[in-house]
A = this chain, B = another copy of it.
Amino acid sequence: MRLITYRTSGVAGEGYTDGTGVGVMVDDKQFIDLAKHAPNLPKTLRGILESGTDWQSRVEKAVKGKSADNSIDNVALDPVIPNPQATWCLALNFQLHKDETGLERSQYPELFQRMPSTIVGHNQPLVRPRAELCKRYDFEGELAFIVGKRGRYVSEKDAFAHIAGYAPYNEGSVREFQLHNRQFGLGKNFEKSGSFGPWMMTADEFGDPYKQYIKTRVNGALKQDTQLSEMLNSLENIVSYLSTGYEIRPGDVCAIGTPGSIPGTTKLMNVGDVCEVEITGLGTLSNKVIAAD
């Protein structure tokens, strides 16, 4: 099952309004409007995930036998989870990307955070910072997982039971600001500098993540092409480590780090470029880059 967060009115990032809803895809375009067929379910995907670990069977029951109500071409897509309590991101989780940066890493997941307002949905514009602020605005094609079940001190063995689903993620980065200090801070948190979508695919439908590939393209040219099995810290290890200190919660998002670029290419995004992050077997997140006002 693939779920979207969509908007027919209001401004993304400004909180929920009557114009916001959750849809269940029936193909790559058409979706069933959950609010219409299951008015008793919470109105947000985070709310649905928080409503109990049987959320998936309740949603499946609500949409069973229903026909599509609308197309994603008629609505704006928001980030899959527009308002997580936490978005955790990993640095340096693929060897080639680590080598590109020249930075050191330890055996532990290297974690930082992004704020909700820095992320847009599928087909929404990414905003390149003003030219005088930054020469190096880069894509980072990534897989994100979405937490479906609360947990603390989760073992690696139990980790997958806490993952509700997956989505492509573009962890767009403003390199000059990222490198102002040891902490990446602001360089990872420019307004509308990253994206998350188009949908969350449930874990059962996605299957084994390690069989799949991250493929990132700019204007159709392939820039990243790496199998997820090359992750240095595994999904199981990330969930377990994170939950040592932090209680993972339904709707929390974790972007697992970007692979290296294909040799001879860069990660740069310029105004007018279209950047696509494909996770094979899952979907493709596409965004055009516009200039900051």
Q: Which residues on B sit within 8 Å (CB–CB) of A229?
A: none
A86-B115, A115-B85, A117-B247 known; A110 and B242 CB under 8 Å? no
**Copies per complex?**
2
Interface pair B182/A182, CB less than 8 Å apart: yes
Residue A191, interface by CB 8 Å: yes
Contact indicator A111/B186 (Cβ below 8 Å): yes
Residue A174 CB within 8 A of the other chain: yes
Nearest CB on B from A141, distance (A): 20
Q: Is the CB of B191 within 8 A of A246?
A: yes
Q: Check: A113 CB closer than 8 A to any chain B CB.
A: yes
Give, as a whole number of angstroms, the nearest-CB distance from A160 to chain B.
20
Interface string of A166-196 (1 = CB under 8 A from B): 0000000010010011111111011101000
Interface positions, chain A 31-75, Cβ under 8 Å from B, are: none
7 contacts between A and B (CB under 8 A): A86-B117, A86-B189, A106-B181, A111-B186, A112-B185, A186-B241, A186-B246
- Known A-B contacts A85-B115, A152-B191, A191-B152; the reply to A184 vs B183 at CB < 8 A is yes
Mostly, the A contact residues are: loop
Question: What's the least CB distance linking A165 to chain B, in Å?
Answer: 21
- Closest Cβ–Cβ distance, residue A246 to chain B (whole Å): 5
Contact partner of A108 (CB less than 8 A), chosen from B106, B181, B184, is B181
Contact between A174 and B245, CB atoms less than 8 A apart: yes
Beyond known contacts A118-B246, A186-B244, A189-B246: 13 more, CB 8 A cutoff: A85-B115, A85-B116, A86-B189, A88-B185, A108-B181, A111-B181, A112-B183, A113-B113, A117-B246, A174-B245, A191-B245, A191-B246, A191-B247
Asked if residues A245 and B189 are in contact (CB atoms below 8 Å), the reply is: yes
Complex interface bits, A111-127 against B, C-beta within 8 A gives 1, otherwise 0: 11101111000000000
Residue A131 CB within 8 A of the other chain:
no
How many interface residues does A have (CB within 8 Å)? 42
Instruction: Report the separation of the CA atoms of residues A186 and B91 in the bound assembly, to the nearest whole angstrom.
Output: 13
- Tell whether A103 is near chain B: CB-to-CB under 8 Å: yes
Cβ < 8 Å to B, chain A residues 87-117: 88, 91, 103-106, 108-113, 115-117
In the complex, the answer to whether A190 meets B105 with C-beta atoms within 8 Å is no
Assembled-state Cα–Cα distance A48/B183 (Å): 32
Q: Which of B110, B118, B177 is within 8 Å of A181, CB to CB?
A: B110
- Indicate if A129 sits at the interface (CB-CB under 8 A): yes
Contacts of A190 in B (CB 8 A): 245-246
Give the distance in Å from the alpha carbon of A108 to the alpha carbon of B182 in the complex.
11
Interface contact A110-B183, CB-CB below 8 Å: yes
Contacts of A177 in B (CB 8 A): 244-245
- Whether A133 is near chain B, meaning CB under 8 Å from some CB there, is yes
